């Protein structure tokens, strides 16, 4: 089992690679959601899993949905970063 720091570091790297183009498409959202579900410890990723599930309900990610998820990811990453400083 991963430590919380290792989990956060891996999440950081995954998210950074997904957001290289500052957008998220359906394939990236699916990968990210699957990773979050597989690595969930407690309820720390519930909000993101819920947003991604909602986003993927029609299997298409439009610009507005992408922006919402990118913003949510940014908030979670900032929170994780502040926990490890």
Residues 21-68 have pLDDT tens digits of: 989 999 999 999 999 999 887 788 898 999 899 989 998 999 999 999
What is the value of pTM for the model shown? 0.85
pLDDT band, very low/low/confident/very high, at 82 (cuts 50, 70, 90): confident
Neighbours of 77 (CB within 10 A): 16
Q: Total structural domains in the chain?
A: 1
Indicate which CATH number applies to the domain containing 44.
Answer: 1.20.120
- pLDDT recorded at residue 18: 87
Domain that holds residue 13: 4-83
């Amino acid at each position: 089992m991963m430590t919380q720091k290792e989990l956060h570091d891996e999440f950081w790297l995954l998210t950074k690679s997904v957001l290289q183009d500052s957008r998220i498409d359906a394939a990236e959202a699916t990968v990210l959601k699957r990773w979050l579900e597989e690595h969930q410890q407690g309820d720390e990723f519930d909000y993101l899993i819920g947003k991604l599930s909602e986003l993927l309900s029609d299997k298409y990610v439009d610009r507005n949905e992408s922006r919402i998820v990118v913003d949510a990811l940014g908030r979670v990453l900032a929170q994780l970063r502040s926990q490890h400083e």
